[in-house]
Amino acid sequence: MNKYSEYTDNPVPWIERIPAYWGLMRGKNLFAKMQRPVREFDEVVTCFRDGTVTLRKNRRISGFTESLKEIGYQGIRKGDLVIHVMDAFAGSIGVSDSDGKGTPVYSVCQAKGDSNNQYYAMLLREMARTGYIQSLYRGIRERSSDFRFEVFASQFYPVPPRSEQDQIVKFLDWKVSCINKLIRIKKKQIVLFREKLDAHISEVITHGINTNVEMKDSGIEWIKDIPKHWETIRCKFLFSERDERSEDGKEQHLSMSQKYGLIPDSQLDERRLLSESYKGGKLCYENDLVLNRLKAHLGVFSLSPQYGVISPDYTVLKPKSERILPSFAEIVLKSNKCRGELRTRVRGVVEGFWRLYTNDFNSIELPIPPIDEQKEIIANINFFKVNTKRCEDILIKEITLLNELKERVIADTVTGKIDVRDTIIPEHVCDDEYNIIYEDSKCEEENEDQNL
């Protein structure tokens, strides 16, 4: 990209320099804070950390703190610049795409002169990304800001000509949309790799690796046909429950994670609450099969990697038969194919409080190949997992680089490090592709691993 021919040092602390002909103005001269009354039919507008400002129902309808009384709510109109006073440091700044109403913690602004609100929303988000908004911290909440309108209004901001603001927005609409399309493609590839792995596991745990064997009907709905020389055995003949308790809770505490399995607390990177004492917790030994009774129908099973103490609400099962390898049992029970069967065995009225009790677990029948074949299946699946993980890692690295590129393009364009005035932008760029900020939001709400 081209640079401008001449720059000038900039008194704005978070921008080193700007094009020489750009102006500088304080926020109070660029924007006015609005205080509109709420209309009876106005719906709630929410300002998200990804820069989306839209009707709450457009994104999700749960996970919010609901106000019993909407005290101080204000009117918001499509095109308003909205700044979340307490969350601006994290990027909760954007232009509303809808009419509605919002909490008084928002600064709702309209341009006083001829400014493009989308340009200034992106500029302010870059101000947040650099940490400058955080440096203006006036609040008492950790990792928050108190970026009130008065603070916003007192800062200096670059002022490109209006035509140039429009060109910057249009350029970023195009460029970032292209990057986001690539990111979406790579995310879909990751999903496809994982689906292929799940399908492969479901296939080999019931049909084996050798496709040239005679099959028979297992008589079990979720298993269906299995190789003729395989058996099916109920879990009560394969496992017995272990219910030993810790006397002082000083054993290594192990936590269940849907992503990592059962691991020591020190290896967990998630934020979690730790108990003051694990006295009375259940003890497990290496290769015990541990399940979270509330999450078992989601495949939350794990072999214990070592001796330790766990939640008393977990079930510990020790192998009592040499006819099944614990690692093979773990694979089968965690498989997508088995989850439907597990779901039929849980008890409870409300999902989220369903429990898989031992007696119900014991009634499940599992496909049992000969031990040598179990070892072959485990090795085959592990090989498949390693290759899948390698492909995923490559794609994740590429996504990271694309996000860094997107971030850099936005930063350099809105602060004038690159000149896009003469860039020819394709005519087919559509408004609904305007994903400069939106694209990563859905990822944050997806499969984040939780401590179970």
pLDDT of residue 445: 37
How far is Cα 323 from Cα 368, in angstroms, rounded to an integer? Answer: 7
Specify the pLDDT at position 433. Answer: 41
What do you get for the CA distance between the two ends of the chain, in Å?
48
Position 140 scores a pLDDT of 56
Q: Side chain identity at 51, as an amino acid letter? A: G
pLDDT at 443: 39
User: Can you name the CATH fold of 209-368?
Assistant: Adenine-n6-DNA-methyltransferase TaqI; Chain A, domain 2 (3.90.220)
Compute how many other C-beta atoms are within 10 angstroms of the C-beta atom of residue 129: 16
* Torsional sign, CA 396, 397, 400, 402: negative
Q: What is the pLDDT along the chain (452 residues), one digit of tens a residue?
A: 789 999 999 788 899 899 999 999 999 999 999 999 999 999 999 999 999 999 998 886 555 555 556 788 999 999 999 999 999 999 999 999 999 999 999 999 999 999 999 999 999 999 999 999 988 876 555 555 689 999 999 999 999 999 999 999 999 999 999 999 999 999 999 999 999 999 999 999 999 999 899 999 999 999 999 999 999 999 999 999 999 999 988 899 998 877 788 888 877 665 555 566 788 899 999 999 999 888 888 888 899 999 999 988 899 999 888 899 999 999 999 999 998 899 898 888 777 678 899 999 999 999 999 999 999 999 999 999 999 999 999 999 999 999 999 999 999 999 999 999 999 988 765 444 444 444 444 434 333 333 34
Which pLDDT score, from 0 to 100, does residue 61 have? Answer: 56
Residue 69 pLDDT: 65
For 23-159, give the CATH class.
alpha beta
Cα-atom radius of gyration of the chain, to the nearest Å? 28
Nearest to 14 by CA among 437, 421, 414, 438: 414
pLDDT of residue 421: 94
Give the model's pLDDT for residue 441: 42
The domain ranges of the chain are 23-159, 209-368
